[in-house]
Structure 1
Amino acid sequence: MPPSNYLAILPLFFFLFSSLFFPTKSTPIYSSHVCTDSNKYQPNTTFQTNLSLLLYSLSSNATQGTQFYKTTIGRDTPNAVRGLFLCRGDTLATACHHCVTTAAADLKHRCPAEKEAIIWYDVCMVRYSNQNLNSIVPGVDMSDSKNVTSINLDRFNELLAGLLNSLATKATNSADVKFATGEVNLTSSVTLYGLVQCTPELSLFNCNMCFRSAIAYIPNCCDGKRGARVLLPGCNIRYEVYPFYNSTNTLAPPLVKSRPSGRSRVEVILTFFIPVVAAMVLFTFGIFTVMRKQAKSVIQLWKETNYSEV
């Protein structure tokens, strides 16, 4: 058997080994996946070998008690593979390892020849690509089949938007994990639980933009649903009317002023979308400021050059 074939089956042996020595109480739950069908690799190639080594590296590093790991296998651009895993911030090390190992093996099965793919489980995400890793696309949304009935829909949307935006701000400004959970009372008997997380390597700006993009999904995919999640490569958000995470960190309920019922759909969308617009305005202003400073520097340099030639 060629050496490349030995390397290609390493993840399988690692998975069997880890199943024996790292038992878990629960099986990770599959959520969704995306394969980039337009970009495929041929079998028994250097890229396939590098991909197998990458998935093996991700699975093995999930045993180190870390919830995030990113690496690249291969130096030459055509065959280099970039990849990472992210476990949910409230996940124990054993559960994280089991989820990453399961997801890596499952990803090879679901996307057997793609050069770019991503898979989400309930407590982890695994992805790889032959290109630079994008944080916004592709995106997947999932929602509960049932609608909210215990509270006015307008108030529900305001409380939900307030909770998710507060959690996004908290997670973005956190130093390391970029993870936050919180809850707010919908009624005296119903509580809304929220969770947000982005990959730790993202800058404050990119993490914030990823969260705002995810939150902007909600009105179109999941308006009025009892629970939903938006899964992006760089971040994810989720809310439910039941506790689904282990963290005890919560936020105080956001203050919401009473408004007349019967708000239009445009108003509901704006509740979620305004933070995205604000972030984009700040981004544009920042670019304009940088360009203006660069223009002044060029003019000054041109003047100095001309003066020196006189």
Structure 2
Amino acid sequence: MFSSYSLSKCLVAFHILAIQLLVGSASSLNLTNEYLHHKCRVNQGKYQSGSEYEKQLNSIIRTIAADRLIDGFIHTSNENDNNSVTIIFQCRGDSYRSKCFPCFATALAGFRKRCPRNKGGIIWYDQCFLDVSIINDHVPRRMNFENTFSMHNPNNARGNTNSFNKKTTDLLYNLIVKADRPDVDGLNFLYYAAGEIRLGKQTLYAMVQCAKDILSCKNCLEWSIRELSKCCDGKQGGRVLSTNC
């Protein structure tokens, strides 16, 4: 038996990035689908070819393929005590509908290549992330501080660093307000926002996003902003990524 949790609005998709920050041209936020990072859950063991676990995993994958991920997010489990498989997958908030499912196929192939026959693992791409586990983290999920990482542009931003950092933080907190709000029908939450501000002759672009099934989007994004200040102060670009926001 399968249980799943997915979005009800096809115009909304949820997150690979907690925070994304770039300084540059308008093309800075154009969609790519580069591999970003992965983590194999070696402590969850490996499965053998033809095993019951492999059958359960392939069954869930077929279910997701049939769904086509129109909503951009899914959290599904087979609820099997002996061979439990849970998959959480989400696309970036500006990559949904027809753009989302191809990223699932890419992420699945990447996971199988980088974590061959591992029962669990996580892989991040620019447009999506895939989380496979033998443990079902029931909805709503709490913040997981283990599966996080950061990236940054090696180049420093021009001008006054303190002013740049303050304007960056202000923009991100404004985006949190936009992300953590009801959508047009007041029932679901968008949990995604992007914006920009002018910095002299340059433009600062930022993006925030949470997964639909986490306990608190606001708290998750505020934590990510604090992490961004540790890794990326004064840098022209930076990201903090997790499986929650």
Residue 125 of structure 1 is matched in structure 2 by 129
Q: Which residue identity lines up with residue 146 of structure 1 in the other structure?
A: N
Deviation at 1:37, TM superposition (A): 1.8
- SS of the residue 2:54 aligns to: helix
1:223 has 2:226 as partner: no
Tell me, in whole angstroms, the C-alpha distance in 1 between the residues paired with 2:228 and 2:32. Answer: 28
* Letter matched to residue 127 of structure 1: D
> Which position in structure 1 is the counterpart of 2:52?
46
- Aligned pair 1:156/2:187, yes or no? no
Partner of 1:285: none
Which residue number in structure 2 is paired with residue 305 of structure 1?
none
1:146 aligns with one of 140, 155, 161: 155
Aligned to 2:92: 88
Q: Which residue of 1 aligns with 2:214?
A: 202
Q: Using the alignment, how far apart are the partners of 1:208 and 1:200 within structure 2?
A: 12
Find the counterpart in structure 2 of residue 186 from structure 1: 199
Q: Which structure features the higher share of strand residues?
A: 2
* Equivalent position amino acid for 2:172 in 1: L
What does residue 26 of structure 2 align with? none
| 1:67 to 1:209, Cα distance in 2 relative to 1, 3 A | same
Instruction: Describe the shift of the 1:60–1:122 C-alpha distance in structure 2 as closer, same or farther (beyond 3 A).
Output: farther
Read off the aligned partner of 2:212 and give its amino acid letter.
P
Is the 8 Å Cα contact of residues 72 and 100 (structure 2) preserved in structure 1? yes
CA distance in 1, matches of 2:75, 2:98: 19
1: CA distance between counterparts of 2:195 and 2:181? 15
Query: 1:207/1:78 Cα in 2 relative to 1: closer, same or farther (>3 Å)?
Result: farther
Query: Which amino acid is the alignment partner of residue 151 of structure 2?
Result: M
Are the counterparts in 1 of residues 197 and 203 from structure 2 also a CA contact under 8 Å? yes
User: Unpaired runs of 5+ in structure 2?
Assistant: 1-30, 183-187
Determine the C-alpha separation between the residues in 1 that align with 2:62 and 2:171.
38
Change over 3 Å in CA distance of 1:108–1:59 after alignment to 2: farther
Q: Which has the higher contact order (CA 8 A, sep 6+)?
A: 2
CA distance in 1, matches of 2:65, 2:38: 18
Q: Distance in 2 between matches of 1:183 and 1:76?
A: 46
Q: How does 1:279-290 map to 2 (within 5 A)?
A: none
Alignment partner of 1:33 out of 27, 33, 38: 38
> Greater helix share, 1 or 2?
1
Is 1:102 matched up with 2:112? Answer: no
Question: TM-score, normalising length from structure 2?
Answer: 0.76
- RMSD of aligned residue pairs (Cα, Å): 1.9
Asked if the contact 1:167–1:180 (Cα under 8 Å) also holds between the matched residues in 2, the reply is yes
Aligned residue type for 1:232: S
TM-score computed with the length of structure 1 as normaliser: 0.61
Q: Is contact 1:47-1:81 (8 Å) kept? A: yes
Q: Distance in 2 between matches of 1:234 and 1:36?
A: 17
2:177 to 169, 172, 176: 169
